[in-house]
Amino acid sequence: MVMSSVSQTRVWFITGSSKGLGRALAETVLEQGETVVLTARNPQQIEDLVVSFPNRTLAVQLDVTKPEEIREAVKQAIAKFGRIDVLVNNAGYGILGAIEEVSDQGVRRQFETNFFGILEVLRTVLPHMRQQGSGHILNISSVGGFVSYPGTGIYNGAKFALEGISEALAQEVTPLGIKITIVEPGAFRTSFVTRSLVITDIQINDYEIVIGEMRKGARDILDMKLDFKEPGDPKKAALAMIQAVNSDEPPLRLVLGEDAIYAINAKLESVKAELDAWREVSVNTAFDEVLVAK
């Protein structure tokens, strides 16, 4: 891991700056003397940061499902600071329910926010980074962008899609001086469950044996009946992301939390075991002359 020295104040553009990891990252970046474009659907929620750091902040209203707001936010950022060095696509939420239970509207809204909104932000900021010949993009995924779980399939689908385009994008823009990092957090002590989780209204009894306990636990947290202490420290997550941005060789994937590492390793081992077990069947799908030639 090679660390570079930061010679100038970078301009960070962070979506979803009002809460969770986005808020923790914005605060930490500002504390370290850098500049942040703070975006939120309700800019009043980030006004305290503007008051504390008036010369190094810009608060902009941004709902990532509204392309006109994305264009306006980026336009204001460039007009005020002249560049965007680090883009952090953090805005998003989760939906809890079996695949069959989530309404068409719920599926589309999940993808509009967690995938299409990020795609629109990317495609709006990239021309500026290409012109600069530099930049770093952090796409905030999740351990759920690599490992799927019952009850979060629609959320997983949107995050898997984000990781798919991020892998391709990294190969497209690295030669242009732009770096890509997919951030995969595990459970962090933020307001995600209480403020960013939607539980489906439709509940099919057959799925209760699979996701009933998860659904009950989420409802208890939402109703303040249960004090759930996630292991992850948002401040330390912010410092880890900054460390990745400071590195001359940042990772394509930055996994945050031992729980996330455990889950990803378990999946990798499972995939490898299944791949090996079915290798002969897989290989034998070639034409006979190809198999004989080998």
Candidate list 17, 155, 166, 179, residue with the active-site label: 155
Distance CA 21, CA 14 (A): 10
Candidate list 19, 159, 166, 179, residue with the active-site label: 159
Candidate list 17, 141, 142, 166, residue with the active-site label: 141
Is 159 a residue of the active site?
A: yes
Is 155 a residue of the active site?
A: yes
Is 294 a residue of the active site?
A: no
Question: What positions carry a catalytic annotation?
Answer: 141, 155, 159
